[in-house]
Amino acid sequence: MMNRWHAVKRLLPMLAGLTLLLSACGRADLSALNPQGPVAEEQFGLIKLSIAIMGFVMVVVFALTFYVLFRFRRRKGQNEIPEQVEGNHKLEIIWTVIPIVLLIILAVPTVKYVFQFAEDHSKDENAVQVKVTAHQYWWEFEYPQYGVTTAQELVVPTTKRISLQLKTADVLHSFWIPSLMGKIDTNTEGNINKAYFEAPKAGVYRGKCAELCGPSHALMDFKVVAVDEAAFGKWVEEMKAPAVLPEDEHIREVFKSQCLACHAIGDQGAPTFPNLTGIGSKEAVAGVLLNGTGPGEQPVEQNLKEWIADPQRVKPGNKMPAVPLTPEELDGIAKYLAEQKLTYNENSAK
């Protein structure tokens, strides 16, 4: 008895630790357990329903088990073999029918929502259409209604439904915004998946790749930036404004020849790889180097330098080479890019 109490006492700190850990699972920008939009809310409803049913089954089964263990335990001096029971129609019917009823309760809303979430809104003119392309290890967002393409930050208005058509440019990935919608795979062209979500509350939500896709899979993050309608309109305008290239002639030439072969900025360059328009006011560089002054964050210029100097160190296996630059060129380009700020979302601009 004494020993058992010791074991319990030793487990207590671990239980306390786990409770603390789990209590951090409700982050509004990151957690499926703290839904911030209607799609995520309905999905959370399904999670709660299945947990409730499973919890109920567990309690009943455990209670019966302990009752039987206790009630029919072997008593002192009891040496004969107890009565052997084989088959009991009443009981067998009961424990077949109850699980069937439970499964039906689980199946009806699940099937209903599976079909609802697969609804095709790609022809809906009132929805914001976004073509999502997953790349090792970044996300491309094209807005055909507005003629804008961006990367890593999915800017959306709070007032509209966002209709997604998703595909991959290389291997399979999975698009996931835990607090706004569940996962949806990105397949190759010809097998486009559709999904939708709404983000009625302004804010920044974290997105993830949820399909192991290579060495930097865990770094394939993106953000959803939900803003009001006016700010969204302003964002579209700012994205389409002509580029202002670096003032310094040498830096400008290096930037044009070394960077714009792959990247676009404003109306300049090739949009094959992430569009750098407004890179100075994004939440992160390359999705993972968080901009800002909080814990784990750095000023954007610092993050740009870190990224451009050695992209492979930040995200092993990504498709951006380390471009040979002198320290002055690196400084000049990082400073120029850090100044590329959009003002549509002043509140959260870094």
Binding window for Cu ion (CB under 5 A); candidates: 43-51, 165-173, 250-258, 283-291:
165-173
CB of 165 to ligand HEC, least distance (A): 21
Residue 167 is a binding residue for Cu ion (CB under 5 A): no
Task: State the binding partner of 157 from Cu ion, ligand HEC, none, CB within 5 to 8 A by kind.
Answer: none
What region does 145 belong to: left with phi over 0, alpha with psi -120 to 50, or beta?
A: alpha
φ, ψ for residue 293 (rounded to 5)?
A: -125, 0
Residue 259 is a binding residue for ligand HEC (CB under 6 A): yes
Task: State the binding partner of 321 from Cu ion, ligand HEC, none, CB within 5 to 8 A by kind.
Answer: ligand HEC
CB of 144 to ligand HEC, least distance (A): 20
Applying the rule CB under 6 A, the residues between 271 and 300 that interact with ligand HEC are: 273-274, 276, 279, 285-287
- Length of the chain in residues, anyone? 350
Closest CA to 315 of 170, 176, 137: 137
- DSSP code of residue 291: B
CA dihedral sign of residues 332, 334, 337, 339 = negative
Query: What are the DSSP calls for 122-186, one per residue?
Result: TT-TTSEEEEEEEETTEEEEEETTTTEEEESEEEEETTS-EEEEEEESSS-EEEEETTTEEEEEE
CB of 167 to Cu ion, least distance (A): 13
Query: With contact defined as beta carbons under 8 Å apart, do 161 and 124 qualify?
Result: yes
Residue 213 is a binding residue for Cu ion (CB under 5 A): yes
**Amino acid at the residue 211:** E
Residue 166 is a binding residue for Cu ion (CB under 5 A): no
Site string for ligand HEC, 307-346 (x = CB under 6 A): xx------x--xxxx-x---------x---x---------
Residues in contact with ligand HEC by the rule CB under 6 A: 137-138, 151-152, 258-259, 261-263, 273-274, 276, 279, 285-287, 304, 307-308, 315, 318-321, 323, 333, 337
Interface residues with Cu ion (CB under 5 A) are 173, 209, 213, 220
